[in-house]
């Protein structure tokens, strides 16, 4: 059989599962990504060898990895350098406090239940980043997008993505360090490398990319804007990997640098901006990534007592850590609502899970099937809990005191 035929069948199954799973999730008031993740988990655990094999098929795995790059590029495109610089002090406090507290709690859970330092540190890092897509949707449904709580959370989310990816870069670099390299100089280099890469990428990118895109606009090649945008994304992903960072750090930096002004020359002649052109590519590759992440979750391992305990403790650490970040909110803001809004985990935690399954120490993969399944389950639990908690928080706030009985 021609190998492309098998790949085509696998992709057909994955895309159908993603579409149906996303539809069912939306009908239940949940983000489609949750349905895609659960659809993959169901496919991988129905006992059909071909379906289970899709989670480790090399060609599909490569498409899933490309989906992760495109996803982080798209996340970066939705923010700008100016937005990062404009986040208020309260948003900075919320993002940084939430990252620190969650990291410490997650490491504690891993240290007690896994008793392996690398896995404990990786689990702590994996639950630091917030996915606020579901939070933004709840705010929209409640008509509270202009509230102080919403502005604080969305401002913190811009910085939270960057902090989470810096943590990812630090941890992955530490995991791949050479033996005996834990010297003050090596630790300083671990910190400088991701921060320096982001700084250089942003500074050089802001100065150079407008000229590159302006010259590209002179070409009459159809699709030139999308081509140069993806080329920039993949080039920075390669550069990040070349210095020992995760490629998604480079993809995110590429999206962060590019702004609406880069598409201005193309839009002036009737073309769509880059953020719209990337949507068809994202609609194809990103669901593949989420379904594949679900395919790799093992229900047999998940429902073992030890894994259930790890999941419960990890989810508790994820929730308590982000509730604690509400203390950084300004006065007059419902700090409990801010904590609830920062609770959901999503794409970055799943990318952590994928990376943890591929990184190896002397004892084996950093995340074994138990740690991987517990992390995926934590993403699901925090995503499901967030809308319920936010709606309760705002209904409590707007209900006001009840009248005393006569």
Instruction: Render each residue's pLDDT in the chain as its tens digit; 406 residues.
Output: 788 888 999 999 999 999 999 899 888 877 788 888 889 989 988 888 888 888 888 999 899 989 988 988 887 887 777 766 666 788 888 888 888 999 999 999 988 988 788 888 888 888 887 776 667 666 766 676 667 777 788 777 767 777 777 787 777 777 766 444 556 666 677 677 777 888 888 888 888 888 899 889 888 888 899 999 999 999 999 998 888 777 888 888 888 888 888 888 888 888 888 989 999 999 999 899 889 888 888 888 888 999 999 999 999 999 998 888 888 887 778 888 888 888 888 777 888 788 887 777 766 778 888 888 888 889 888 888 888 888 888 776 655 554 444 4
What's the number of CA atoms in the CB half-sphere (13 Å) around residue 150? 17
d(CA 92, CA 406): 48
State whether residue 43 is helix, strand or coil. helix
Domain 3-397 belongs in CATH node 1.20.1530.20: yes
9 to each of 12, 14, 46, how far by Cα in Å?
5, 9, 18
d(CA 312, CA 310): 6
d(CA 78, CA 54): 31
pTM across the whole model: 0.77
């Amino acid at each position: 059989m021609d190998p492309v035929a098998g790949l085509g069948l696998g992709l057909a199954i994955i895309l159908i599962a993603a579409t149906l799973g996303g539809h069912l999730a939306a009908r239940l008031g949940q983000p489609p990504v949750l349905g895609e993740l659960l659809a993959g988990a169901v496919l991988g655990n129905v006992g059909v060898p071909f379906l289970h094999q899709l989670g480790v098929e090399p060609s599909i795995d490569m498409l899933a990895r490309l989906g992760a790059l495109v996803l982080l590029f798209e996340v970066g495109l939705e923010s700008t350098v100016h937005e990062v610089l404009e986040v208020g002090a309260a948003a900075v406090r919320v993002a940084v406090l939430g990252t620190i507290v969650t990291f410490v709690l997650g490491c504690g859970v891993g240290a007690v239940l896994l008793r392996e330092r690398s896995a404990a540190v990786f689990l702590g890092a994996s639950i630091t980043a917030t996915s606020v897509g579901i939070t933004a949707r709840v705010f929209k449904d409640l008509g509270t997008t202009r509230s102080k709580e919403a502005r604080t959370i969305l401002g913190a989310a811009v910085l939270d993505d960057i902090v989470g990816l810096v943590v990812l870069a630090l941890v992955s670099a530490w995991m791949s360090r050479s033996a005996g390299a834990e010297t003050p100089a090596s630790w300083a280099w671990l910190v400088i490398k991701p921060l320096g890469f982001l700084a250089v990428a942003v500074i050089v990118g802001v100065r150079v990319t407008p000229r590159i895109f302006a010259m590209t606009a002179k070409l009459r090649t159809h699709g030139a804007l999308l081509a140069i945008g993806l080329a920039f994304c993949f080039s920075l992903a390669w550069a990040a990997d070349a210095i020992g960072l995760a490629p998604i750090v480079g993809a995110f930096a590429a999206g962060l640098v590019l702004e609406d002004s880069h598409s201005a020359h193309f839009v002036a002649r009737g073309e769509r901006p880059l953020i719209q052109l990337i949507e068809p590519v994202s609609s194809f590759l990103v669901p593949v990534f989420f379904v594949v992440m679900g395919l790799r979750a093992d229900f047999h391992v998940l429902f073992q007592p030890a894994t259930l305990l790890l999941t419960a403790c990890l989810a508790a650490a994820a929730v308590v850590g982000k509730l604690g970040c509400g203390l950084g909110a300004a006065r007059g803001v419902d700090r409990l609502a801010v904590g609830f809004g920062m609770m959901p985990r999503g794409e970055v935690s799943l990318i952590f899970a994928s990376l943890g399954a591929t990184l190896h120490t002397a004892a084996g993969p950093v995340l074994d099937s138990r740690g991987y399944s517990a992390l995926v389950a934590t993403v699901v639990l925090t995503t499901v809990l967030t809308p319920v908690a936010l709606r309760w928080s705002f209904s409590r706030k707007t209900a006001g005191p009840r009248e005393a009985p006569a």
